[in-house]
Amino acid sequence: MRMLTTDEVARRLGVKRATVYAYVSRGLLAGRRNAQGKETLFAEADVHAFEATRGPRAVDRPGSPAVHTGITLITADTLFYRGHDVSELAREEQYEAVARLLWTGELDDMTPFPQVAPWLETLARDVTRPLPATARLTDRLRIIVAALGAADPLRLDTTPAAVIATAQTLLQAMVSALPQLSVPGDAGLAALLWSRLTAKEPSYDDLYALNAAMVLLADHDLAASTFAARVAASTRAHPYAVVGAGLAAMDGPLHGAASGLATEMLRTAISSGSALGAISDRLRTGGGVPGFGHPLYPAGDPRASTLLGLLPAESVEAQAVTAVAEAMRARAGVAPNIDLALAAFTLRHEMPGDAGEAIFAVARTAGWIAHAIEEYADQPSRFRPTGRYAGLPPLNVGTLHP
């Protein structure tokens, strides 16, 4: 049986390597590692059979390009990063290793991200110092990212190795430049982020849960912020600008900021002792009940199940989640999503109301960078939707200007 390399398959199908990986992640094409475990090989017969099912290659319509990605696969009940079950990754791997998996496809590097140069960390802190106390953590992150980009003379280098090096420094600097509330008790980005979110001293289980949350949030296919990041990357914007685009798109209450609304509702349920009262308050405002339902997971968000499973069952937060979830299941048949799980986690550890949003932003930066690397290898400036004009007809130019 003749075996083909990834490059040979890509040439035969007329696609990029990333597209071949996307076919594998979606279960459309079977690949297997060679004896050294460093190269994916494909049976020629399997490739021939797959090629026959594709028919003539479709031409993407202008403004509506297909986004072929080999990063994240979402099914009805779980999701995968480059073929790895995310719930298993959250329980077994450090965030740094999962970030590198998203960037390179390899899960074998457990080393921490390199420390940030002192002058760069000072710069990142100085630019946010004038902000008022009411500024959210994500407000600070946007400014930090912009400042770091302005200070990097090589920011326009979009080769994969350069982007990965930039991403590691960027993530470390984003977190270290936030106001410090406690001393990191351990190495790793999760411990550093913990020290920026709460003065409470963490246990091993606490840091384990925060790391798991970061892994669960590292990517989610083409969510709004990720699509914005890819559009920026398609214009060959540098990685800092790509992350800036992602941060801008996640700022809305229907995306990254949704956990803050869930936090308010859960806090009300805990303080009042009434899950139904908390739900009623949300319905009275006309904003809907945050933290429930997800169109991609009709049976329930697996990320929420994983993170909530790390919450002590006897805690008031876990009991409040159970009460609210039972009420919502009986009323609307919906299950908790990752926003409610983040709310419970942050309340449990005395974190501010915007902590869930900050965890989301830091964690998802890895995914935005992974999609940027993929997009840099594709056709530039390929996203150009066509608007359907619905305004007034053109005026008679000849009448106005005789």
Task: Return the higher-pLDDT residue of 3 and 196.
Answer: 196
The CATH number of the domain holding residue 312 is 1.10.230.10
Q: Return the amino acid letter for 170.
A: L
Is residue 301 over pLDDT 60?
yes
With respect to residue 317, please indicate whether it lies within any of the assigned structural domains: yes
Among 65, 84, 103, identify where a domain stops: 84
3-state class (DSSP) for residue 72: strand
Question: Quick one: pLDDT at residue 341?
Answer: 97
With respect to residue 47, please indicate whether it lies within any of the assigned structural domains: yes
Tokens encoding 132: 């008022």
Q: Dump pLDDT digits (tens) for 25-34.
A: 667 788 887 7
Nearest alpha carbon to residue 196 among 316, 346, 91, 365: 346
With respect to residue 171, please indicate whether it lies within any of the assigned structural domains: no
pLDDT band at 63 (very low <50, low <70, confident <90, very high): very low
Nearest alpha carbon to residue 364 among 197, 228, 202, 176: 228
Dihedral sign for Cα atoms in the order 45, 46, 51, 54? positive
Is residue 14 over pLDDT 80?
no
Is residue 319 over pLDDT 90?
yes
pLDDT band at 64 (very low <50, low <70, confident <90, very high): low
Q: Are 291 and 337 in contact (CB under 8 A)?
A: yes
Tokens encoding 236: 């060959």
Task: Kindly report which listed range (51-60, 86-95, 309-318) carries the lowest average pLDDT score.
Answer: 51-60
Is residue 209 over pLDDT 90?
yes
For 333, phi then psi, to 5°, come to 70, 30
With respect to residue 26, please indicate whether it lies within any of the assigned structural domains: yes
Q: Dump pLDDT digits (tens) for 248-283.
A: 999 988 787 888 999 999 999 999 999 999 999 888
Tokens encoding 286: 């006309």
Tokens encoding 368: 């935005």
For 237, phi then psi, to 5°, come to -60, 145
Is residue 396 over pLDDT 70?
no
For the chain, percent helix, then strand, then coil, each to nearest 5?
Answer: 55, 5, 40
H or E segment and range at residue 74 = strand 72-74
Cα-Cα-Cα-Cα torsion 231, 368, 169, 110, nearest 10 degrees, comes to -150
Among 62, 84, 106, identify where a domain stops: 84
DSSP codes, 180-226: P-S---SSSHHHHHHHHH-SSPP-HHHHHHHHHHHHHTS--SS-HHH
State the residue range of the domain holding 76. 3-84
- Distance in angstroms (rounded) separating the CA atoms of residues 296 and 222: 12
Which range in 71-85, 229-243, 388-402 is most confidently predicted, on average pLDDT?
229-243
With respect to residue 42, please indicate whether it lies within any of the assigned structural domains: yes
Tokens encoding 260: 């803050």
How many domains does the chain contain in total? 2
The CATH number of the domain holding residue 65 is 1.10.1660.10
Q: Are 371 and 231 in contact (CB under 8 A)?
A: no
Question: Quick one: pLDDT at residue 253?
Answer: 81
With respect to residue 374, please indicate whether it lies within any of the assigned structural domains: no
Average pLDDT over residues 99-112: 90
With respect to residue 13, please indicate whether it lies within any of the assigned structural domains: yes
Nearest alpha carbon to residue 337 among 373, 368, 296, 377: 296
In Å, how far from its chain's centre is CA 197?
19
Among 325, 348, 371, identify where a domain stops: 348
Question: Quick one: pLDDT at residue 3?
Answer: 83
With respect to residue 329, please indicate whether it lies within any of the assigned structural domains: yes
Q: Dump pLDDT digits (tens) for 128-182.
A: 999 999 999 999 999 999 999 999 999 999 999 999 999 999 999 999 999 999 9
Nearest alpha carbon to residue 317 among 261, 376, 262: 262
